[in-house]
Amino acid sequence: MKKSFLTFTLLLASYLLMANDGYKLWLQYYPLENPKSEYREILGNARVPGESPTLSIIKTELEIARSGFFGPATLQKDSNSPKLIIALKDTDPAINKNTTPEEMAVLGEEGYLIKKFSEAGQNKILITANSEIGLLYGTFKLLQTIQTGEQIPNTGLSNSPKIKHRVLNHWDNLDRSVERGYSGSSIWNWHRLPRHIDQQYLDYARANASLGINGVSVTNVNANALVLTPEYLAKAKALADAFRPYGIKLYLTARFSSPMEIGGLPTADPINAEVQAWWKEKTKEIYQYIPDFGGFLVKADSEGQPGPHNYGRTQAEGANVLADAVRPYGGIVMWRAFVYNEKTPDDRHKQGYNEFKKIDGEFRENVIVQVKNGAIDFQPREPFHPLFGAMPKTPLMMEFQITQEYLGHDTHLAFLAPMFEETLKSDTYANGKGSLVSKVIDGSLHKYPLTAMAGVANIGTDRNWTGHHFHQANWFAFGKLAWDPETRSADIAEEWLKLTFTTDKKFTEPIQKMMLASHEMVVNYMTPLGLHHIMARGHHYGPGPWVTGGGRDDWTATYYHKATEKGVGFDRTASGSDALGQYAPEIQKEWGNLKTAPEKFLLWFHHLPWDHRLANGNTLWDGIALHYQKGVEEAKANVAIWESMEAHVDAERFKHVLSFMKIQAEEAVWWRDACLLYFQQFSKMPLPDGVDKPEHDLDYYLNFNPKFVPGNG
Ligand code: BDP
């Protein structure tokens, strides 16, 4: 007992002292607290019958975990009496003996079952599934359960994904720049592909598999047709081959004008027979390279991208051409609903809905419309997109942005699971009360046969993948919610902290609290009370409520906040743009009435005088100022909380996080002062008690111009 305790203490001490650059993400496999754990023998004495790339990944994973948990010494294996059996049904008698057909039936294609059983007086564990990928998912689940110190229930642990396609969207360009990427360059080195497969591709695939992510779109939605040429298809094939054993399918973004750009046709009109034939031929070629190619992701008629509008066609006519091409091979088309145009005189909020609602039911069966969580653009907070619930005849998928384009980029800690959860839990009232967005997405509300969720990746070549160590948690959260959109953000935070740092409650409890409050904190110091899109022009880093003019009104801040001496906010009720009219009557009633409208969306839907009274009796102006102040205070308090955690974290990650938190606290002040000085010109009211006086005048902020902000093309 004493000796093993000593071993554990030494292991743990050396783990804490070791430089940890975060590369291992949530797969740390650090020493277990209970050194006598029965898992030592279980992991050291596994039987995984059969040979295949996926099975060999499973074996390696068990070995990495075992030596991380218990130290490198190997165990004497007793192959006659394995303690852990990982196998498909009918490939191992222990599986057939200890499972029922009913248990197997609910697992579907990718689910798994972990069960304890006893044999000849020994405690054993089995993991089974209907596919090798299910076995891999089950293996990761067992290892996560061991690391976090949870128990496997006596009834077993059975789980299967609620969403079919769980896809990361990389906005990565072929030159390795990343649109809205803040953590280095693209991890795809197209120049070296296909001859060199970097270890990072495999580590990336492994990390995704550990979360159940099963699809990757590797290229920017602002697409380059070059990726569909043979030279690049050979490179894409090499990536697809690397991902396959991890259960990950490759998708490509398709530029709508490709038939002209690389096909030499005079048009890309979707009803033109030659265009249709071109897509069919091209798709056949892609499947020759990548037999399990997932399909296309398309951004059309948006922000300068070509699309069916160029030929007077609908989005369905555009999508269907590609859908017909991939259908014989089982592929899908993810067609984005992010369609808007500065020449359309209507509120930008309304354009996606207006474009798609009327063509509900006109898409082929293998098209899924990919809808951003909100109707504008990944703001720190948006009400759910009114298309959710409005297209019963067309499968809709969720697009979340994991990369923090509008949330302070890589240095601002914002745990996004609560934001994702807020959207998923919103009630669309499509089929009456309880018609949650999550039920639209998992297909249960409208019986969609095709279901999917996409997350715009925050991954780059930084050693820790995501810039801020805590932004690994956003990648993690996306994976968990894509698997089950009803997962609670509190559970996600806790699990991530335990896997990534320690199970010590002295650390996990305060830091989980900090994470869960961090999104609201960012909303407070950036865009409280429903303000939105008041970031700096182009790169969206830092405040820019003064951004105006420049040719595209819908890319300015003044378009969205409409501040004058009379008031502030975008009137989207019936007296204004009536975007609210796109939601269910129940929502119109609640959000349209100032007595019941949620304050978090107040200025999103209403234009109000500065002296409008909030629920707590404060004027709107005071309320805005106090929210900004609160955000600043929280960001400063977080620095102190993190400083008090030094004993629990390795020095390298501790320092890294600390310096980012200091940046965040400083920049929260920047946001508060710049926005309040700007809006004060109109409100002409003093700052309320408790709000710090700005250090500089408005001119200072207007002239502050950070250079070379990354991610802006
Ligand atoms: C906006 C980004 C832009 C993207 C666009 C999109 O500013 O870089 O290309 O969304 O989603 O958020 O297509």
- For 306-356, the pLDDT digits (tens) are 999 999 999 999 999 999 999 999 999 999 999 999 888 899 999 999 999
Tell me what the mean pLDDT of segment 576-580 comes to. Answer: 98
DSSP state letter for 695 = S
Q: Which atom of ligand 1 is nearest to the CA of 179?
A: 8
Pull the structure tokens for residue 295.
Answer: 């399909």
> Above 70 in pLDDT, residue 145?
yes
Residue from 303, 360, 362, 590 carrying the catalytic annotation: 303
Least Cα distance to 35 among 8, 67, 62 occurs for 8
> Which pair of tokens denotes residue 231?
């030279």
Burial of residue 175 (number of CB atoms within 10 Å: 0-12, 13-18, 19+): exposed
Q: If you measure from the C-alpha of residue 689 to the centroid of ligand 1, how many angstroms do you get, rounded to a whole number?
A: 39
Ligand 1 midpoint to CA 401 (Å): 10
Rounded distance from Cα 406 to ligand 1 centre (Å): 11
Cβ partners under 8 Å of residue 411, min gap 6: 467, 468, 660, 663, 664, 667
Helix (H, G, I), strand (E, B) or coil at 427: strand
Assign 659 a pLDDT band (cuts: 50, 70, 90).
Answer: very high
**What is the predicted pLDDT for the residue at 1?**
45
3-class DSSP state for residue 564? Answer: strand
| Pocket perturbation via mutation, ligand 1, pick of 377, 382, 404, 458 by most ligand atoms within 8 A of CB | 377
Q: Which amino acid is at 293?
A: F
The SS3 of residue 225 is: helix
* pLDDT tens digits for range 487-544: 999 999 999 999 999 999 999 999 999 999 999 999 999 999 999 999 999 999 999 9
- pLDDT classification of 254: cutoffs 50, 70, 90: very high
> In the prediction, which pLDDT does 74 show?
67
One-character DSSP codes across 92-118: -HHHHHH--HHHHHTTTTT-EEEEEEE
The DSSP 8-state label assigned to residue 536 in this structure reads: P
Structure tokens at 543: 């405040």
Measured distance CA(259)–CA(281) in Å, rounded = 11
Residue 196 has which token pair?
């060199």
Look at residues 470, 580, 452, 575 and name the one whose alpha carbon lies nearest to residue 516: 470
- Is 303 in the active site? yes
Atom of ligand 1 nearest to the CA of 180: 8
| Domain definitions of the chain by residue range | 22-159, 165-491, 524-570+607-702
Q: Which of 377, 421, 520, 571 is catalytic?
A: 377
The protein residue whose alpha carbon is closest to atom 2 in ligand 1 is: 180
268: nearest Cα among 223, 235, 237 = 223
- Report the C-alpha gap between 312 and 278 in whole angstroms: 20
**DSSP structural state of residue 248:** -
Taking the centre of ligand 1 as the mean of its atom positions, its distance from the CA of residue 5, in whole angstroms, is: 53
Distance in angstroms (rounded) separating the CA atoms of residues 217 and 295: 9
**Nearby residues of 152 by Cβ (< 8 Å), 6 or more positions away:** 114, 115, 116, 125, 142, 145
C-alpha of residue 171 to centroid of ligand 1, in Å: 9
What residue's CA is closest to ligand 1, atom 9? 222
- Ligand 1, pocket-test mutation among 178, 301, 334, 405, most atoms within 8 A of CB: 405
- From CA 54, how far away is CA 542, in angstroms rounded? 45
Structure tokens at 415: 């745990």
User: Ligand 1: which of 303, 373, 547, 552 to mutate, most ligand atoms within 8 Å of CB?
Assistant: 303
| Strand partners of residue 609 | none
Judge if the upstream peptide bond of residue 194 is cis by omega within 30 degrees of 0.
yes
Measured distance CA(60)–CA(66) in Å, rounded: 10
405, 422, 462, 495: the catalytic one is 405
Q: What residue's CA is closest to ligand 1, atom 1?
A: 377
Can you say how many angstroms the Cα of residue 43 is from the centroid of all Cα atoms in its chain?
32
Work out the pLDDT band at 617, boundaries 50, 70, 90: very high
DSSP 359-386: TTT-S-TTEEEEEESSSSS--SS-PPPT
Instruction: Say how many Å lie between the CA of residue 220 and the centre of ligand 1.
Output: 10
- C-alpha distances out from residue 394 to 76, 364, 390, Å: 56, 9, 9
Percent helix, strand and coil across the chain, each rounded to 5? 45, 10, 45
Distance CA 231, CA 174 (A): 12
Closest ligand 1 atom to 406 CA: 12
pLDDT band at 37 (very low <50, low <70, confident <90, very high): confident
- The CA distance from 546 to 107, in Å, is 54
Q: Which atom of ligand 1 is nearest to the CA of 540?
A: 7
For 535, the token pair is: 């970031």
For residue 170, the CA-to-ligand 1 centroid distance in Å is: 12
Nearest ligand 1 atom to the CA of 302 is: 13
The whole-angstrom separation of Cα 346 and Cα 361 is 24
According to DSSP H, which parts of 117-179 are helical?
132-148
| CB-defined site of ligand 1, < 6 Å | 179-180, 221-222, 299, 303, 338, 377-378, 405
- Please list, residue by residue across 332-345, b when 16 or more beta carbons sit within 10 angstroms of its beta carbon and e when fewer do: bbbbbbbbbbeeee
- Identify whether 63 is a catalytic site residue: no
Task: Please give the distance, rounded to the nearest whole angstrom, from the Cα atom of residue 23 to the centre of ligand 1.
Answer: 28
Question: Token match 């710049």: residue?
Answer: 674
**Would you state the pLDDT for residue 2?**
57
Asked about 405 being catalytic, the answer comes back as yes
Q: For domain 22-159, which architecture applies?
A: 2-Layer Sandwich (3.30)
**Residues 247 and 110: beta-carbon distance below 8 Å:** yes
The pair of three-digit structure tokens given for residue 565, joined into one six-digit string = 């001496």
pLDDT tens for 82-100 read 999 999 999 999 999 999 9
What pLDDT was estimated at residue 343?
A: 87
Token look-up 């019963």 returns: 392
- What are the tens digits of pLDDT across the range 466-492? 999 999 999 999 999 999 999 999 999
- For 19-109, list the strands marked E by DSSP: 46-47, 84-86
Residue 324 in tokens = 């017909």
CA 627 to chain centre: 27
Residue 13 CA to residue 559 CA, distance in Å, equals 56
- The CA 252 to ligand 1 mean position distance, Å, reads 17
- What is the three-state SS of 164-221? CEEEEECCECCCCCECCCCCCCCCCCCCCCCCCCCHHHHHHHHHHHCCCCCEEECCCC
**Closest residue CA from atom 11 of ligand 1:** 338
Going by CATH, does the domain composed of 165-491 fall within 3.30.70.980?
no
Q: With 90 as the cut, is the pLDDT of residue 7 above it?
A: no
- pTM of the model as a whole: 0.97
Q: Is pLDDT at 203 greater than 90 in this prediction?
A: yes
CATH of domain 524-570+607-702: 3.90.1330.10
Of 170, 180, 537, best ligand 1 pocket probe by most atoms within 8 Å of the beta carbon: 180
Angle between helix 651-683 and 620-643 (nearest 10): 170
Reduce the DSSP state of residue 418 to 3 states and report it: helix
